[in-house]
Amino acid sequence: MPIVSVGRDKLFEALGKTYTDDEFQALCFDYGIELDDVTSEQEMHKKELGSKGASKENIKGLSDEILYKIDIPANRYDMLCLEGIARALNIFNRRIPRVDYRLANMAGKQTQRLVVKPETALVRPFVVAAILRGVKFDAQRYNSFIDLQDKLHQNLCRQRSLVAIGTHDLGTVQGPFTYEALSPPDIVFRPLKQTREFNAAELLQHYQANDLKLRKFVPIIQQSVVYPVILDANRTVLSLPPIINGAHSAITLDTRDVFIECTATDLTKAKTVLNTMCTMFSEYCSTPFEVEPVEVIDAFGQSHVFPDLASRAMEVEVAYINRCVGVDLGATAIAELLSRMALTAKAVRNGQAVSVEVPPTRSDVLHACDVMEDVAIAYGYNNIEWTVPSTTAIGAELPLSALLELLRAECAMAGFTEILTWALCSRAENFTQLLRPDDGASAASIGNPATSEFEVCRTSLLQGALKTLGANKDAPLPVKLFEASDVILLDAAAETGARNERRLVAVACAKEGSFEVIHGLLNRVMDVLGVPLLGELGTGRSALQEQAGVGYEWQPSEDPTFFPDRQASVSACGKTVGHFGVVHPEVLAAFDIPYPVSALELNMEPFVFDQFYKPLHTHMQKPTAPSSR
Amino acid sequence: MKDLQAKLGPNAKVGFSQAKMQNWIRIDKSGGEQLIVREVETVEDRTQSLLKRISEGQEVDKADAEALKKRKLVKPESWKTYALKKGPKFALEKKKPATELTHEMLQKGTWRDANFKAYNFNALGQPTNGGHLHPLLKVRTQIRKAFTSMGFEEMPTNNYVESSFWNFDALFQPQQHPARDSHDTFFLTNPAATPLSKQPQDYVRRVRDIHENGGFGSIGYGSHWKESEAEKNLLRTHTTAVSSRMLYKLAQEGFRPAKYFSIDRVFRNEAIDRTHLAEFHQIEGVVCDRGLTLGDLIGTLHLFFSRLGLPKLRFKPAYNPYTEPSMEIFSYSEQLGKWVEVGNSGMFRPEMLRPMGLPEDVNVIAWGLGLERPTMILYGIDNIRDLFGHKVSLSVVKKNPICRLNL
């Protein structure tokens, strides 16, 4: 969620009231924002450098103004600046009525035009624009204006990939404007904060090499044959979206008329961004909350007027609100509550419904449920009487989980201590360290791991148990561990191409190999599972076991992870279900374990059956046809 | 003298000088030959009587004893004497005191007469031999019991690899949402995608429609919905991906009221620190029924969290793309003396439920929280890496109390 930093005293001035931190936090809590931190530029600097690093000298230039860092819900773009926070809270506190945003009446006046050239479709097809007239900036308003653009760029605009905002001093340029896409060397201008002219190709290379902040936006257009550019009637470059504005039309504290353009790959979001900029800063226009429209002529010659500040009308059933929130409110009471959330509402259809006007600031309202939520917030979540649903359902564990809960207890009773290791590991841990071949296509692989610790999903639990032994070399011997968890196996038959398999792993580490210890655990596990031993050592099967065909046995095996002639594979119910043996010394060395280890790993899924050996489901089943219930 | 010597032999000299000193005799040399002359008629031989007394074991004067010692007539000897009597533990056979009650003692009944050594109470007993259960999973077990005893049915969450379609799109999470960034989510290169052709075609069409154009009373997101984005495979970021599959299944099989729960792993592509891991356990509860209210959600949360020892709750409005209303759950911590966030909750949006085919009056309330954080608070662990993963110290696993949640 975005965090917005605002001056505390400026905010209180706008709210017409001074709060203690706790009082303000309480207000935030009720509205659904959060006072995340109380700080100042000096404090932040000290925190960053530590108490020793921050000398008096280097904090001298920094402000000691108290800042509130406020956490804003990710869908409330209208609260990403002080103006928006204060407006929403003032309306919530019933200090001011709702705000009506409107377009200036252009009768008898020339509407500014922005003409879109078809080539822009190749790189960034959409543009919207608007004008704020007679704006009075001061240092604080100006900073807030810049900060809001930053916040929008970071959030709704997805780092400028979806939308980029350019703001200009209209007094320095001449309409009509054009939105074009030109060959990079043909775009020549002096960008903001530069002392000389660049062509666009050279400029992007410059930012790529030298500018930490702008570097990350370069890839959005760099590969395109043409770059987007906004020009005025005299071919002055206003901006090279989504990278940088021209220095010529830069906003200053003296700017009175502001031209705002938003270029985009997503038109809906461009409109929301433009509306947010206009509704927030039209407060400072000579006629507050009035925005001058701009006519955009699209590539097909169609005319569109922006911004669209019209409220959207919705009708919401009173019964719907009451039955979702769990209250019993009349239409008038609902309308009153909604007015605190900046939604204008009135009772209609004899109080059966409320007619709601959603202002352009509330782009988060998509459905009646959003209106319903605002009623609940204004009513107060903590004022809602709580009830217990009468829903009747039968509690149940999944057979796989229930079985493993029992089996874990048995393993612990058998003297093994439970561990819990990560499902993600490095490729080396999963393959080469276990002396298993890595063909690069035997494990689910992560494309974007933050660290090499998490390259693949484990295909065996053994590496986690060995890592635990390696990390616990100081534990008194013998060490006996187990884990019952999932591995992830590639499986073309599975819907996603991979499936989980529930396994049991156990390791015994002592000064001498503990092969019999691990072998004994295998026998014990099978005993408690009710799976009889087959072959000469077995004591025979019951009629039920005979009929179900259950039983297990082991055969010497040749798994590279284990020591030759000290290992066996386990088969049960006609398939191989696991291995046990003395771990190969090279594997031990790879996991930094100085003592011999014996290990057992078993697939538990074949053993998920009831007391009559009837198999039970282990994974989600596809929907079946509606039952006749 | 010669005669005397001849008569008495070697004893002739004994007592001679003493007799002279006592003037009992005299030596007369006048005749040229030594003559011994009697001087007194009778003698009282004190030495003899002293020696007699000594030989009879009677006491003599210390000075006399010294004199006799000098004359080497006596020599001192010392010896100890012991008086042996039957003590309280008198027995006719020799016995050692016992340390333990033994099988033999029980067999022979000798424990009755056995002598037991004092026990050293200034030491711990012997460590037990059995194994131990992991603390996080002990908490998981108790929370599982809380759910099942409240009538919740477990969801099959054993599918860590999930397609974006079920993890995001089915939940009406917009395709441009930051959670779908590679910074937050592990995307897979193998298996890289789940073709939408594997999903129910009419449902995919309704999901696309609700995103692009809206429907069921919603205006939708008005953005192009890319199939390739929905096909991307990932490691599920929440178990709600499974909830969405379960609710779709419920709608297909004919709606009935349902209560679901799960506690299983989810994955986030986050930097690891004291409170964050790339994988952790999510607890999720879902109730699906006709006419459920926000009051029902609040009531259900009170019941659930009371079982976890957190009876004091309050709720903060929040934003979540697939729930509306959304509520953050705060609980008052007596330990910390403040309200702390313990989970998230909400009612699933109609844009999620209606395309699945659930009836309009069906509401679904749900909540989620992590398993690790409450466990860390419960067991006083302040670094998540000391709780989950291979670096956990085995002594931490061995030395922790039972989980008393849900008692």
DSSP string, A288-333: TTEEEEEEEE-TTS-EEEE---PPEEEEEEHHHHHHHHT----HHH
- Taking the Cβ of residue A216 and every Cβ of chain B, the question of whether any pair is shorter than 8 Å is answered with no
**Contact in structure between B368 and B282 (CB atoms under 8 Å):** yes
| Omega within 30 of 0 (cis) for the link into A125 | no
Task: Average the pLDDT over A120-139 and give the result.
Answer: 94
Contact between A446 and B292 using a beta-carbon 8 Å cutoff: no
Contacts of B344 (CB under 8 A, 6+ apart): B318, B320, B326, B327, B328, B329, B367, B368, B369
Distance CA(A259)–CA(A294), nearest Å, equals: 9
Contact across the interface for A418 and B133, Cβ inside 8 Å = yes
A626 vs A213: which has the higher pLDDT: A213
pLDDT of residue A52: 61
CA neighbor of B132 nearest in space, from A402, A520, A408, A601: A408
Cβ of B314 under 8 Å from any chain A Cβ? yes
Best B324, B339, B345, B400 residue to mutate vs chain A (most A CBs within 10 Å)? B324
What's the rounded mean pLDDT across residues B181-185? 82
User: How many residue contacts between A and B have a Cβ separation below 8 Å?
Assistant: 326
pLDDT at B41 over 70: yes
List all residues 6 or more positions away from A555 whose beta carbon is below 8 Å from its beta carbon. A568, A569, A571
CA nearest to B211, candidates B163, B245, B172: B172
Predicted local confidence at residue A391, as pLDDT:
93
Q: How far, in Å, CA of A580 to CA of A341, rounded?
A: 65
Beta strands in B257-407 (DSSP E): 258-267, 279-290, 313-317, 323-333, 338-348, 362-370
CB proximity B173 to A under 8 Å: no
Would you say the ipTM is above 0.85?
Answer: yes
Query: CA of B121, closest CA in chain A: separation in Å?
Result: 25
Residues of A in contact with B316 (CB under 8 A): 29, 32, 34, 381
Does residue A628 register a pLDDT over 70? no
For residue B352, pLDDT over 70 is answered with yes
Mean pLDDT throughout B41-52?
82
Query: What CATH code would you report for B135-398?
Result: 3.30.930.10
Element of type H or E holding A3: strand A3-7
Select from B38, B35, B31 the least CA-distant residue to B3: B35
Residues of B in contact with A467 (CB under 8 A): 390
Which two three-digit tokens encode residue B211?
Answer: 């995103």
- Give the C-alpha separation, A447 to A279, whole Å: 41
Is-cis flag, bond preceding A307, omega within 30? yes
Q: Nearest 10 degrees: CA dihedral of B280, B285, B286, B287? A: 180
Contact A422 B148 (CB under 8 A): no
> pLDDT at position B63, please?
86
Q: Report which of B318, B166, B238, B174 is spatially closest to residue A156, judged by C-alpha positions.
A: B174
**Whole-number percent of chain A with pLDDT over 70:** 98
Any B CB within 8 A of A426 CB? no
**Closest partner residue to A418 among B137, B153, B159, by Cβ?**
B137
Q: Do B154 and A498 touch (CB under 8 A)?
A: no
Report pLDDT for A55: 63
Mean pLDDT check: name the lowest of A461-465, B63-67, B127-131, B349-353: B63-67
Point out the residue among B161, B186, B253 whose CB comes nearest to the CB of A626.
B253
| Residue B38: strand pairing partners | B25
Band the pLDDT of A280: cuts 50, 70, 90.
very high
| Cα angle: A316, vertex A319, A320; to 5 degrees | 60
Set of chain A residues whose Cβ sits within 8 Å of the Cβ of B289: 389, 391
- pTM of this prediction exceeds 0.80: yes
Per-residue pLDDT, A629: 47
Interfacial A residues in 28-57 facing B (CB < 8 Å):
29-32, 34
Chain B residues touching A424 at Cβ < 8 A: 186, 235, 267, 278-279
The β-bridge partners of B285 are B261, B367
| Cα(B225)–Cα(A343) distance, integer angstroms | 29
Q: Average model confidence (pLDDT) for chain A?
A: 93
Contact A161, B223 (CB under 8 A): no
State how far the Cα of B182 lies from the Cα of A315, in Å rounded to an integer.
39
Q: Residue B50's Cα: distance from chain center in Å?
A: 84
Q: What is the dihedral of CA A529, A531, A533, A534, to 10 degrees?
A: -160
**How much of chain B exceeds pLDDT 70, in percent?**
99
Residue A357 confidence (pLDDT) above 80: yes
Put simply, the answer to whether A499 touches B159 (Cβ < 8 Å) is yes
DSSP A386: P
Q: Which two tokens stand for residue A420?
A: 């819990």
Give the C-alpha separation, A4 to A72, whole Å.
Answer: 7
A381, A387, A398 ranked by CB distance to B293: nearest: A387
| Closest C-alpha to A228, from A267, A278, A205, A262 | A262
| Nearest chain A CA: its distance from B389 CA (Å) | 4
CB of A481 less than 8 A from some CB of B: yes
Distance to chain A for B134, nearest Cα, Å: 5
User: Angle between the A21-31 and A82-92 helix axes, to the nearest 10 degrees?
Assistant: 80
- Residue range(s) occupied by CATH 3.30.930.10 in chain B: 135-398
pLDDT at A238 over 50: yes
In order of start, what are the domains of chain A with their CATH numbers?
Answer: 3-92 (3.30.56.10), 102-306 (3.50.40.10), 312-381 (3.30.56.10), 399-607 (3.30.930.10)
Asked if the model's pLDDT at residue A248 lies above 90, the reply is yes
What was the pLDDT predicted at A53?
59
A10-14, A535-539, B9-13, B378-382: range with highest mean pLDDT:
A10-14
CB A457 within 8 A of CB B161: yes
Distance CA B364, CA B346 (A): 8
Q: Is the pLDDT of residue A514 over 60?
A: yes
* A423 SS3 class: coil
Q: Inform me whether the pLDDT recorded for B91 exceeds 80.
A: no
pLDDT band at A547 (very low <50, low <70, confident <90, very high): very high
pLDDT at B246 over 60: yes
For residue B16, is pLDDT > 80? no
Q: Find chain B residues with C-beta within 8 A of A34's C-beta.
A: 316
Q: What does the DSSP assignment read for A224-237? A: SSSEEEEE-TT--E
Contact B137 A420 (CB under 8 A): yes
Nearest CB to B153 within list A326, A395, A416: A395
Q: Check A409 against B130: CB less than 8 A apart.
A: no
- Give the Cα separation of B151 and B172 in Å (integer): 28
Residues of B in contact with A312 (CB under 8 A): 219
Percent of chain B with pLDDT over 90: 59
Each residue's pLDDT tens digit, B97-142: 888 899 999 999 989 888 888 888 999 998 888 999 999 999 999 9
Least confident of A98-102, A624-628, B201-205, B329-333: A624-628
Distance from CA of A285 to the nearest CA of B (A): 31
Q: Which residues of A touch B393 (CB under 8 A)?
A: 472
A441: tokens are 């296509």
**CA–CA min distance A365, chain B (Å):** 9
- The DSSP call for residue B170 is G
pLDDT digits (tens, 9 = 90+) for A168-198: 999 999 989 999 999 999 999 999 999 999 9
pLDDT of B4 over the 80 cut: no
Contacts of A410 in chain B (CB under 8 A): none
Q: In this structure, are residues A229 and A200 in contact, taking their beta carbons and an 8 Å threshold?
A: yes
Tokens of B190: 């193998």
Grade residue B35 by pLDDT with cuts at 50, 70 and 90.
Answer: confident
Instruction: Look at A629 and B254 and tell me if their CB atoms are within 8 Å.
Output: yes
* pLDDT tens per residue across span A214-234: 999 999 999 999 999 999 999
**Is A402 a residue whose pLDDT tops 90?**
yes
CB half-sphere exposure, B347, CA atoms < 13 A: 28
* B85 CA: distance to closest CA in chain A (Å): 54
Q: At what angle do helices A318-325 and A331-339 cross, to 10 degrees?
A: 70
Residue identified by tokens 């009538």 is B151
What confidence tier does A54 reach under pLDDT thresholds 50, 70, 90? low
Element (H, E) at A169: strand A163-169
CA gap B295, A376 in Å, rounded: 10
| pLDDT higher than threshold 60 for residue A449 | yes
Give the closest of A323, A411, A450 to B269, CB-based: A450
Total number of residues shown for chain B: 407
Confidence band of A395 (pLDDT split at 50, 70, 90): very high
